[in-house]
Amino acid sequence: MNNKIKSVRIENFRGVKSQQNLICHLNGTCESVLLFGDNGIGKSSFVDAIEFASTGKIHGSNAKGAGSWIYSSVSKYGDNKAYIDIDYEKDGLIKDIIKISPDLMNANVQFTEIKGFNYAPFILRRRDITDFWNIAPLQRMRFFAPYSNDKESELLDKEKELTDEWSKKRTELKNERKLLLEEVCKYYNLSYSDMINKSKSAVFGMFKLLNHNTKLESLSQRHPMYEQLKRLSILYDEILECNSKVNEIQRKSKQVTTSVNGKFSDLKEKMLDISNYVTQDFKNISKTNDYVSKIQIYIAEKSDVSIEFVVELDNGKKLSPEKLFSEANRDLLALLIFFEFIYIQSGSGQEKVLVMDDIFQSVDATIRFRLMQFLVEKFKEWQLFITTHDRLWKEQLTQLFRSHGKPLIQYEIMHNKFQSSPQLIGSNNAFDDKVHSAIETGSVSDICAAAGYLLEYMSDELSIILRLSVQRKRGDKYTIGDLWPGVFKAIKKTAAKDIYTDLNDLIFLRNIAGCHYNEWSLSLSRSEAVDFANAVLEAYYRVYSKNTGKWIKDISDITGMIL
């Protein structure tokens, strides 16, 4: 039996404060999961939880090293503890805890590593794909070195972890520098675009001239830009230090890997095995590149950890992918390398679970659909986890899984102003049970918040099922006010007219559907809140069958009776 994932529960982890459960099985069988929601709302928290519980790492950084990610993993709202429970099909329920001291000086990590998840990089994020092309070909094997049987893989694994930490710090410092430099340039009426590319000496040489030939160390503390200039000077030095650290780590790593002859032989053999598959996959999926004859993959030609690509054209000319392909096709090539490596590693013991965290966003729409067709067919026995913020892509994935007869459990992660934590909703989430529970024991705001979530979810689903016209908005972020009028207009023509009319009166006459703050809502009585919640439930059960877990297929299915 494969060790697939039955459920994921997180609490006080990352941006998720309240306990959230991701149920990943139907009728006792573990199935693929689609998690949809806006960027920055918490989708990746579940991905991080799966990686940590399975491997003891997050973003490739080992918990044993207590990297900086530890201290950002516990929600600021809670009791300095994060809880992650994952129920595996074979190994059962595993409970992991991350505890940090109030002063953020110490971390205590308890986790159980599952061996079957440590043979391949089974969790893929957007950053993995971009980094694959940003790193020099001589060092590209480091993405796969942690999965080698050779001891040198540990050195590359540590090098990658340290490089990632310094690179992250450098990015944070550059962002801070950008904001400060923009502010200072505005004060001195200088062009930021001209100044950002200059060295520190050139930048502060210009500021010295504008400050009447006064150096920073001699500038009066009463100068309007004194604090900004002082901090800006420090930032330039700290960024240089980060650059130096990254270069030093990579230089030492290069000395180690180039001095070792014939290592990583197991990885070299497997990468050569998959090269033919990658070439054929690429040609089948990226049909516009019909001028490509073959893609040659050279393993360990220039160093023990080098991976190089050479694209041979029909006319015999040879070019690198960076010079020939668009970003979308380069990303496709990198993804296929990862996918084929993960697939071949299942023969070495890797569990058949593949997690993809919003990795398709830069791939052209036609290519990504064919790529997903390839995945559904090749990984048909695998459990796939997919996150996305793209509503159209979500619908395409739904139809694709349905056409292949492969079950797909869907969730949407949403945030409401009445809640301090994002909430999961979905057909297997029993979100209506939360409304019933709020009616029984919750406060007025709890009742309105739970009912508001359910109403928004129902309106979103019905707008798609009933093929309603909705006016486009930037980012396609729709609210009740955008979706409900079309839903109500369509259902007024059905036998459920009276039920939806009652709900419509409560939405617009009482203005509580969105559960937004206003003076009237503060004086809302409990009985009024319960009336609203019951009206939402009555409407919900006319279009969704709790017994079968299915929505209506079209408007003719609405009989006015509970499904």
Contact yes or no for 404/379 (Cβ under 8 A): no
pLDDT digits (tens, 9 = 90+) for 343-387: 999 998 999 999 999 998 777 777 888 999 999 999 999 999 999
Tokens of 202: 């050139």
Residues 6 or more apart in contact with residue 159 via CB below 8 angstroms: 142, 249, 250, 252, 253
Work out the number of other CB atoms within 10 angstroms of the CB of residue 493. Answer: 10
Calculated CA dihedral for residues 148, 152, 155, 160, nearest 10 degrees = -40
CA–CA separation, 563 and 551 (whole Å): 9
Contact yes or no for 155/304 (Cβ under 8 A): no
Query: What percentage of the chain reaches a pLDDT higher than 90?
Result: 15
Residues 6 or more apart in contact with residue 563 via CB below 8 angstroms: 541, 542, 543, 544, 545, 546, 547, 548, 552, 557
pLDDT digits (tens, 9 = 90+) for 39-96: 877 888 899 889 988 888 887 666 554 455 666 677 766 677 888 899 998 888 888 8
Residue 104 sits at the vertex; the CA angle it makes with 61 and 236, to the nearest 5 degrees, is: 70
Mean pLDDT of the chain: 81
Residue 16 is predicted with a pLDDT of: 81
- Host H or E run for residue 30: strand 29-30
CA–CA separation, 357 and 123 (whole Å): 8
Residue 303 is predicted with a pLDDT of: 73
CA–CA separation, 39 and 391 (whole Å): 12
Contact yes or no for 42/29 (Cβ under 8 A): no
What's phi and psi for 562, nearest 5 deg? -65, 130
Burial class (CB in 10 A: 0-12, 13-18, 19+), 468: middle
Helix/strand number for the chain, H first, E second: 17, 20
pTM to 2 decimals?
A: 0.62
Residue 141 sits at the vertex; the CA angle it makes with 135 and 144, to the nearest 5 degrees, is: 115
